[in-house]
Chains A and B, each alone.
Chain A
């Protein structure tokens, strides 16, 4: 009898455990849930707002028509023409760690929040600066930038957007930069560490003052979402990390961390009459690349990120799936250590560096390894950038490479160590193997290694103990050459190149606000790099997205995933 009781109690335990699992699965509070705070006053004075929206739309149309680029007008027209969608699901690799637009350095977080919060200015697909919450701006003098804000913009809670909110947002950074404990600072505060104050001139005008002439202020503002003074002061710093309330195309609904984030179309959005075309949008983190593909094929998601070239083929032939691909702003290159104490002294000779460039068949690499998903570069600055110029390419010419090497005094080549990350950039290891082959053909004996990016490769780069030649990618979405040319060749962290003439150009260009003059300086600097070849110029890699055929969306070079640019097919 006792035995039976024991046995049945074991069985009961098992059933209980099963029940526990089932109930926990269905329990919506199993993960920290964030209830909606934004779904308020959706119907405030419908007539007035509609009229306001119409005016704004007309204004926007004028801007588009007057705009210098025909493409932006076309995009706007296409967006207006597309059909509406009830629901769109977007699959990214990881979830944000916070929803505070000022406290993260994460692309996936930015992609989500850029639909809810809006920035003062933005870039169109061609890298041209466009108005967003700021309608116009003027450089008053070397240190002061005045911005006129858009009229009639409302926060999702129904209050008016004003210059106070802009001041509040940037003041959060200014105060944060004074915080002595580095870990307590807002994660983005460093981006605007050159701003000294913000002055509200009138409810729709602000003046931003910088410590020194700062040409990078506008390009940096494209990434800074403006938060509501009222929301943050009333709800507190904690709340803004867990929910969101902006002026943007979408209203925050709910965030279940590491599971999904839901948002609803803002029908009163100034950017489009009636709001964006996709009415309900969900962002989901799906870490595994193959699972993302399957989720797209199964129709669970409509857009997925980071599709590998061979997977792209699979999606292109699918009945319900397609791809959208675009050369990204990220350039892939091999840094050569040209310094006096270089572990490979041959690299100090410019002819050797040119020879190493000529020795590589980049067309073959792009066709066979990247499966077409790349575009050759001839300098660190690609076509999206301010001050871009089409400079001569180092096209494949092994005979010329061999001749240059002989001229430089290395007829029999030399030994060289090359490292790439393993899996950080599209086909990085395979590219390294191909380069090893090509260099071997002109007599350069390469010792090649591919290393895990986060744990081995980057610590070596950071400590400047990396091999004399290593492959790196650099994405600079300010579209301003400073973030590439200064950081890679002048700043202390990455530069393995010393050229006083070049440094002078870069230092001057970052200390003046006259854009015409800056353009000239960068063009000169870029020509020097093209000739001097401190890099092996490889390519811009394509960003490949998988998309469902039921939606229409075009991939952007800056990795932004704006739900308000999605329409029905």
Chain B
């Protein structure tokens, strides 16, 4: 087990290196950000001087190595727009994104599991058909459209919830549902199909023949064995949610890292963009490792040696 974790962590370092390489060079294809940092009336000499001061005149590989050396110690440089460490700018947005991700994830679990399981148990019934129609619709509706529609209905027309903002419980309901519904649809279908597969196994027939109650059967025998593929997908879904829901955060004025990414790209604040991308990649890698570890818990037959 310990060896496995070490191996995965070493792999993770290479993944992070790859990500840093891509994000660094992609941003440089867009040209350096110096002109965006000075007022529009700045002269060519001023621009040139600042470019020199910031080291943008060095060869790009040299700049990249310098960047890596600092990044390894958590120093991503200074935000070009805010004049303070980019790490701070990114990290202070993380709590908002984490709250939204967890809330959306919970919404998604609370809907997907019951519908998926019942649909599988009562396959081809009217409930199954309605459930799957719901999943299809949920998968097809763009998040931004659902978000705007919810604002119109629940804020403008009914006046039940605030349109946007952050800080109170009321504020998180709509963004969590809008964001959660998208992953819900996929999870529902996955729960249903894996449950159907498991329910057709012979040991289920045996269990049923034993006279087990339907609910116990579903919970103890079927669901647990169906969980492995579901957990994989859920893990990736959660990582995606943590990556900041760019559109949802923008629509609902939710101050998370997705919104920050958009703002920083338009301001050409490269250190912050790099920070967001690296953080998201890091989250992905970490959650993947955790999912792998969770397999062993769910299925004791899996060993990592």
- By a beta-carbon cutoff of 8 Å, the part of chain A in contact with chain B is 3, 14, 17-18, 20-22, 24-26, 28, 30-32, 94, 97-98, 103, 105, 180-184, 187, 190-191, 256-260, 284-288, 290-291, 294-295, 297-300, 454-456, 458-459, 462-463, 483, 487, 491-493
A172 to chain B, nearest CB (A): 15
Alpha-carbon gap, A298 to B151, bound state (A): 9
Q: Which residues of B contact A98 (CB under 8 A)?
A: 82-83
Stretch at the interface among B7-15, B161-169, B186-194, B207-215: B161-169
Is B125 located at the chain interface by the 8 A CB criterion?
A: no
Once the chains bind, are A259 and B163 in contact (CB under 8 Å)? no
Once the chains bind, are A290 and B83 in contact (CB under 8 Å)? no
Alpha-carbon gap, A487 to B43, bound state (A): 9
Once the chains bind, are B163 and A28 in contact (CB under 8 Å)? no
Once the chains bind, are B167 and A487 in contact (CB under 8 Å)? no
Q: Which residues of A contact B109 (CB under 8 A)?
A: 14
Is B266 located at the chain interface by the 8 A CB criterion?
A: yes
Pick the contact of B99: A24, A285, A295 (CB < 8 A). A24
Once the chains bind, are A298 and B43 in contact (CB under 8 Å)? no
Q: Which residues of B contact A291 (CB under 8 A)?
A: 148, 151, 163-164, 251-253
Q: Which residues of B contact A24 (CB under 8 A)?
A: 95, 99
Contact with A along B65-85 (1 / 0, CB 8 A): 000000000000010111100
Q: Closest chain B residue to A494 by CB distance?
A: B40
Once the chains bind, are B165 and A259 in contact (CB under 8 Å)? yes
Is B274 located at the chain interface by the 8 A CB criterion?
A: no
Q: Which residues of B contact A183 (CB under 8 A)?
A: 53-54, 78, 80, 83
Q: Closest chain B residue to A17 by CB distance?
A: B102
Q: Which residues of A contact B168 (CB under 8 A)?
A: 25-26
Q: Supply 17 A–B pairs (Cβ within 8 Å), ascending by A.
A: A17-B102, A25-B169, A30-B95, A30-B167, A31-B95, A182-B54, A183-B53, A285-B255, A287-B259, A290-B148, A291-B164, A295-B164, A454-B267, A454-B268, A455-B265, A462-B31, A487-B41
- By a beta-carbon cutoff of 8 Å, the part of chain B in contact with chain A is 30-31, 35-36, 38-44, 46-47, 49-50, 53-54, 78, 80-83, 92-93, 95-96, 99, 102-103, 106, 109, 148, 151-152, 155-156, 159, 162-169, 171-172, 220, 250-253, 255, 259, 262-263, 265-268
Q: Which residues of B contact A483 (CB under 8 A)?
A: 41
B113 to chain A, nearest CB (A): 11
Q: Closest chain A residue to B46 by CB distance?
A: A190
Once the chains bind, are B83 and A455 in contact (CB under 8 Å)? no
Pick the contact of A298: B41, B106, B155 (CB < 8 A). B155
Alpha-carbon gap, A18 to B103, bound state (A): 7
B127 to chain A, nearest CB (A): 24
Q: Closest chain B residue to A463 by CB distance?
A: B31
* Known contacts A183-B54, A291-B252: A190-B78 contact under CB 8 Å: no
Alpha-carbon gap, A285 to B259, bound state (A): 12
Once the chains bind, are A455 and B263 in contact (CB under 8 Å)? no
Q: Which residues of A contact B92 (CB under 8 A)?
A: 31-32, 257
Once the chains bind, are B266 and A454 in contact (CB under 8 Å)? yes
Once the chains bind, are B41 and A492 in contact (CB under 8 Å)? no
B173 to chain A, nearest CB (A): 10
Q: Which residues of A contact B152 (CB under 8 A)?
A: 294
Once the chains bind, are B106 and A288 in contact (CB under 8 Å)? no
Q: Which residues of A contact B80 (CB under 8 A)?
A: 183
* Known contacts A30-B167, A103-B83, A181-B53: A14-B106 contact under CB 8 Å: yes
B97 to chain A, nearest CB (A): 11
Q: Closest chain B residue to A188 by CB distance?
A: B39
Q: Closest chain B residue to A26 by CB distance?
A: B169
Q: Which residues of B contact A297 (CB under 8 A)?
A: 156
Once the chains bind, are B95 and A20 in contact (CB under 8 Å)? no
Q: Which residues of A contact B164 (CB under 8 A)?
A: 286, 288, 291, 295
B75 to chain A, nearest CB (A): 14
Q: Which residues of A contact B163 (CB under 8 A)?
A: 291, 294-295, 298, 300
Alpha-carbon gap, A304 to B106, bound state (A): 34
Once the chains bind, are A491 and B43 in contact (CB under 8 Å)? yes
Once the chains bind, are B102 and A20 in contact (CB under 8 Å)? yes
Q: Which residues of B contact A290 (CB under 8 A)?
A: 148, 151, 251
